Structure 1
Amino acid sequence: MIQHKLKFAAAAVLALGLASCDMNLLPKDGLPTDESLQTVSDLQNWWNGRMANLRNQQGGIFTVVQDLQADQISVTANQGNHYAGSLSWESCTASDYDRRDVYISYYQALTNINFVFENLGNLEVKEGEKSTYNILLGRHHFYRAYCYANLALRYGTPYNAASAGTDLCVPLLLEFDPVGRPARATNQEVYNQILNVDLAKAKELLAGVKGEPGADEITIDAVTALEARVKLYMSDWSGALAASKSLIDGGNYPLVEPDPQNFVDMWVYDAPAEEILMPFISRPKEEPRWANIYYDAKTDAKRSDGKDGCNYVSYLPFKWVVDMYSDKDLRKPVYFEMQECNIKDNFYNFYVIAKQKGNPNYASTHNDAFTWWGGYVPDGMVRPKIFRIAEQYLIASEAAFKAGQEGTAKEYLNALRISRGLDKVTASGNSLYQAIKDERTRELAFEGFRLWDLRRWGEGVKRHDPQVPADGSTSHLRPGIFEYEYQPGDFHFVWPITANDINTNENIKNQQNPGW
């Protein structure tokens, strides 16, 4: 299973923590894996590597691929042929490298997690280290659950409780075997591993690790947040409601007051307000992550007046997306900015996606001349917001509605809306459900949720209403993809098992997802 990739990944990551070893004494093709995990300090080093993996699995291809496949973002003439399988679904094959690389990344992480579990017997836990050992072990269990949850979401059959015992999910690797070739497990097996094995163990071991806003490490609250998200995707309404409600009622993460500065602080300056898990960023040691590739602030792009510094955008939000936010909505000026855009040396004033555009405290370039950017060059360098309490309010609202508790659904929905500067919703029935879905669309825009939400809501993808200049021309857009419709149930909503695995693993050669 992912044989050639995993072998190299394991070799690369197994070097972690071996700096004190004399590698010249080892065979050229050997690694002292029996020496790499002997102390709790070694285990901490291993976890540091896993936490770096987890942080790097935010933004980039881990959100962009599915967001571009959905309906909120149009593509300009500046864009090359990147993400072709997301822009034109018909061109996507099982060899698509973006979907392949996401798949490989999660399995690389799993290989290294399984290495830890397999070698715990070599580890000496000294007096006073048991608590640290348990916390680190709990965090590894959390991360294994996180990886399988994301693999199942993308590559597994969408969860249906009635057929979970036979529906195919993803290969389940629970031992350190970089060249293992298991068949695909069932949804029942994979989700049991996620919820009843790894998250259950993480809950036990991290019970005393309390959460706080802006926590940069895995706490018990991050475990519960993942549980709520997984159960929402499973349509386990009572389970999703219970998990999300426990985080809301715990009171550790109050929604911000409806003040414009709170949203600037939260999204631009990474203020620890509503974030359940927000890993640490270190500058200048770390290079920009480009979590937001949409803003495209280029210092060498000319403006219409000849000055340097323009948004040379490859991506724009559709007009209907911007219009979903009323002028009262405090998120609107933070999620979107009206900027002059250089598109193939033609100039337009359009809304660009500014959500997670980059924290000025992490920026590489500051220049007061760039007044339109606030005196710095936004480069996408932000602390990734892996879990937020706002998502939990949305989970609680939707789960309560689906469980027949409209009053509770409205309570959670309106609490979020008030925080965002909006009026309460008084609707009921289908109108209330639409309001819940609309609020989820607004709050979580451009964070990688949209495609999976459309799929589980039984809705298709309809790209329409791009931003255009006053004359209505569309020459600034890539043709053929900015007005297109894909029907509910289209097989592209479930990503393919990577072609390399299908071709090299005899146990899954007949287990490709339908349509691929």
Structure 2
Amino acid sequence: MTKNIYIILALLTSILFSSCDSFLDIQPVGKVIPNTLAEYRALMTTAYKTNQFQDKAYSEMRTDEIVISSDRNDQSSFSAIETWNDLNSPSGTATFGWSNYYNAIFYANSIIDKKDQITEGSKEDIEQLVGEAYLFRSYLHFILVNLYGQPYTKDGAPETKAIPLKLSVDLEEVPSRNTVKEVYTSILSDIQTARGLIHQKEWESKYLYRFSVPSIDAFEARVRLYMGEWQKAYEMAEQALAQKSTLEDMNGEMLPNNFESTEMITAYEFMFSVSSNKACLVSPSFLQKYDNTDLRLTKYFTAPDEENNRISAKGGEAKFTCTFRTGELYLNSAEAAARLDKLPEARARLLQLMEKRYTPTGYDNKKNTVNAMSQTELINEILEERARELIFEGHRWFDLRRTTRPRIQKELGGSIYVLEQDDARYTLRIPQEAIDANPGLMN
């Protein structure tokens, strides 16, 4: 890497630690800017690294999966998140990211803005890089709208205000909040643009954090599922599975969210740190979803401690880095097919996953049960299997939001805490510091 790139990255990295009046909390890069493909690739690598925060882990704490440990430090950091106390959370409570997303989006926008001026690289490699920038921007907007906007599938939600779209490098612009529908329209537009640019079908292990051709289909399948567009969700999931369909066998040692797993498509997000993983005990009621023929019971969780508590065996280490994997695609395909009343197709995809997750006896029982299910029963079973399979991977909160937004009750320290059916707290409040910087975010 040249000295010039080090200067560029130093200037750009300083964005993260500087303050300014903009609600995005980002500053321009100054007069030293990248020019070559190598320099812009270094910038994109910085963008990927910028988004190493734990919002999906924090969102899981709000679900029925997790109970925060009684450790004083864990309670100080996470109890308000666990109990949906968003208005009066005490000092020391972990905070969801906001400006971090926009910092990372700024990097992507910088690449997109200068895409026709990148030098010293092949047309194919430049297009790949720019395509990644589009998909990256799209993905971060997707996370933001699912944290701070109403669920697309809720009646009337597409027309409600959500988050600002940031599609330019203009730091003087103070954008207003876009509607949920506008954000999703932009997400799909960026995905479509990325389709015409990304050509890399698979990355070697050390570059698995980068987006590839299967990443596009996997991402669009998830987006369409969240929108309730079942036919497109099914088509995209099947298109992705046509490229990669391998599944881990739970009789082996490899966990499917390990970046080296045969299931891995994109290993971008690090969900749980050592401290957050240690703080999150698996809810006893959630553990009841696993029967004794389910191989994941001993693979996804640690053995019970002296107080009969278990924590996730799927987090707390850098090797558990995962954004898209085939196990989710089987479930996306199965759910979309079931909702389309394509029951044979839905059963087939669900059972293919189950065969790798249960003992032979357990699988035979599941097969008989699944094959006898009605459409409604099958959809419910797929959602339950989704909960079991994707636990601690950042899906549960979003899945609850897009489906039934159920009532959740937690009894903690002798007190009862309730998230009511369709509670407003299923959507996070935009951080107060962002509102203070841009009061227009209240509108």
TM exceeding 0.5: yes
**Mapping of 1:439-454 within 5 angstroms?**
439-454=385-400
Distance 1:105 1:440 in 2: 29
Distance 2:330 2:324 in 1: 12
SS in 1 for 2:311: strand
Distance 1:269 1:243 in 2: 24
Q: Among residues 409, 412, 426, which one is paired with 2:346 in the alignment?
A: 409
Distance 2:13 2:347 in 1: 51
Q: Is the Cα contact below 8 Å between 2:106 and 2:169 reproduced in 1?
A: yes
Greater length-normalized contact order (CA 8 Å, ≥ 6 residues apart): 1
TM-superposed CA distance for 1:69, in Å, is: 0.9
> CA distance change for structure 1 residues 268 and 385 in 2, over 3 Å: closer, same or farther?
closer
> CA distance change for structure 1 residues 12 and 154 in 2, over 3 Å: closer, same or farther?
farther
**Mapping of 1:161-180 within 5 angstroms?**
163=156, 166-180=159-173
Q: Among residues 251, 258, 264, which one is paired with 1:275 in the alignment?
A: 264
TM-superposed CA distance for 1:62, in Å, is: 1.8
TM-superposed CA distance for 1:240, in Å, is: 0.9
Distance 1:178 1:164 in 2: 29
**Mapping of 1:64-75 within 5 angstroms?**
64-75=57-68
TM-superposed CA distance for 1:50, in Å, is: 1.4
Q: Is the Cα contact below 8 Å between 2:258 and 2:320 reproduced in 1?
A: no
Residue 334 of structure 1 is matched in structure 2 by 299
Distance 1:454 1:447 in 2: 14
> CA distance change for structure 1 residues 267 and 226 in 2, over 3 Å: closer, same or farther?
closer
Distance 2:175 2:118 in 1: 32
Corresponding pairs, count? 412
Distance 2:356 2:309 in 1: 27
Q: Which runs of 5+ in 2 are unaligned?
A: 1-6, 15-26
> CA distance change for structure 1 residues 259 and 220 in 2, over 3 Å: closer, same or farther?
same
SS in 2 for 1:35: coil
**1:200 is aligned to 2:192:** yes
> CA distance change for structure 1 residues 15 and 383 in 2, over 3 Å: closer, same or farther?
farther
Distance 2:12 2:276 in 1: 34
**1:253 is aligned to 2:245:** yes
Residue 47 of structure 2 is matched in structure 1 by 50
Q: Among residues 276, 280, 290, which one is paired with 1:325 in the alignment?
A: 290
**Mapping of 1:46-125 within 5 angstroms?**
46-54=43-51, 56-57=52-53, 61-78=54-71, 79-92=74-87, 101-120=96-115, 123-125=117-119
**Mapping of 1:211-222 within 5 angstroms?**
211=202, 215-222=208-215
Q: Which amino acid is 2:194 matched to?
A: A
Higher helix fraction (1 or 2): 2
Decide which moves more: 383-392 or 174-183. 174-183
Residue 325 of structure 2 is matched in structure 1 by 388
TM-superposed CA distance for 1:292, in Å, is: 5.0
**1:291 is aligned to 2:273:** yes
Distance 1:124 1:435 in 2: 50
SS in 1 for 2:302: strand
TM-superposed CA distance for 1:83, in Å, is: 2.4
TM-superposed CA distance for 1:115, in Å, is: 2.4
CA shift digits 1:234-267 (9 cap, x unpaired)? 11111111111111233x23123x4511xx2235
Residue 8 of structure 1 is matched in structure 2 by none
> CA distance change for structure 1 residues 155 and 290 in 2, over 3 Å: closer, same or farther?
closer
> CA distance change for structure 1 residues 334 and 270 in 2, over 3 Å: closer, same or farther?
farther
Q: Which amino acid is 1:407 matched to?
A: P
CA shift digits 1:27-81 (9 cap, x unpaired)? xxx9864432111111111111112224x24xxx322211111111112321331
Distance 2:432 2:245 in 1: 43
Q: Which amino acid is 1:331 matched to?
A: R
Residue 315 of structure 2 is matched in structure 1 by 356
Q: Among residues 168, 174, 182, which one is paired with 1:189 in the alignment?
A: 182
Q: Among residues 426, 432, 443, which one is paired with 1:499 in the alignment?
A: 432
Distance 1:96 1:403 in 2: 47
Q: Percent identity?
A: 23
Distance 1:97 1:498 in 2: 15
Q: Among residues 138, 144, 151, which one is paired with 1:158 in the alignment?
A: 151
> CA distance change for structure 1 residues 160 and 97 in 2, over 3 Å: closer, same or farther?
farther
Q: Is the Cα contact below 8 Å between 2:233 and 2:332 reproduced in 1?
A: yes
Q: Which amino acid is 2:210 matched to?
A: E
SS in 2 for 1:171: coil
> CA distance change for structure 1 residues 71 and 13 in 2, over 3 Å: closer, same or farther?
farther
Q: Is the Cα contact below 8 Å between 1:66 and 1:451 reproduced in 2?
A: yes
**1:418 is aligned to 2:414:** no
Aligned Cα root-mean-square deviation (Å) = 3.1
TM-superposed CA distance for 1:274, in Å, is: 0.5
Residue 17 of structure 2 is matched in structure 1 by none
**1:490 is aligned to 2:423:** yes
Distance 2:170 2:89 in 1: 24
CA shift digits 1:331-357 (9 cap, x unpaired)? 1111112243xxxxxx52433322235
The TM-score, its normalising length taken from structure 1, stands at: 0.72
Q: Which amino acid is 2:45 matched to?
A: N
Residue 315 of structure 1 is matched in structure 2 by 280
Question: Greater CA radius of gyration, 1 or 2?
Answer: 1
Decide which moves more: 488-497 or 325-334. 325-334
Q: Which amino acid is 1:402 matched to?
A: R
Distance 1:484 1:200 in 2: 43
Q: Which runs of 5+ in 1 are unaligned?
A: 1-10, 19-29, 282-288, 297-313, 341-346, 358-379, 467-476, 512-516
SS in 1 for 2:281: strand
Higher strand fraction (1 or 2): 1
> CA distance change for structure 1 residues 411 and 348 in 2, over 3 Å: closer, same or farther?
same
Q: Among residues 15, 31, 40, which one is paired with 2:11 in the alignment?
A: 15
SS in 2 for 1:276: strand
TM-superposed CA distance for 1:290, in Å, is: 5.3
TM-superposed CA distance for 1:415, in Å, is: 1.1
TM-superposed CA distance for 1:173, in Å, is: 1.4
Q: Which amino acid is 1:52 matched to?
A: K
> CA distance change for structure 1 residues 178 and 463 in 2, over 3 Å: closer, same or farther?
same
Q: Which amino acid is 1:400 matched to?
A: A
Q: Is the Cα contact below 8 Å between 1:396 and 1:409 reproduced in 2?
A: yes
Q: Is the Cα contact below 8 Å between 1:110 and 1:147 reproduced in 2?
A: yes
The TM-score, its normalising length taken from structure 2, stands at: 0.83
Residue 376 of structure 2 is matched in structure 1 by 430
Q: Is the Cα contact below 8 Å between 2:301 and 2:310 reproduced in 1?
A: yes
> CA distance change for structure 1 residues 231 and 323 in 2, over 3 Å: closer, same or farther?
same
Distance 1:455 1:294 in 2: 22
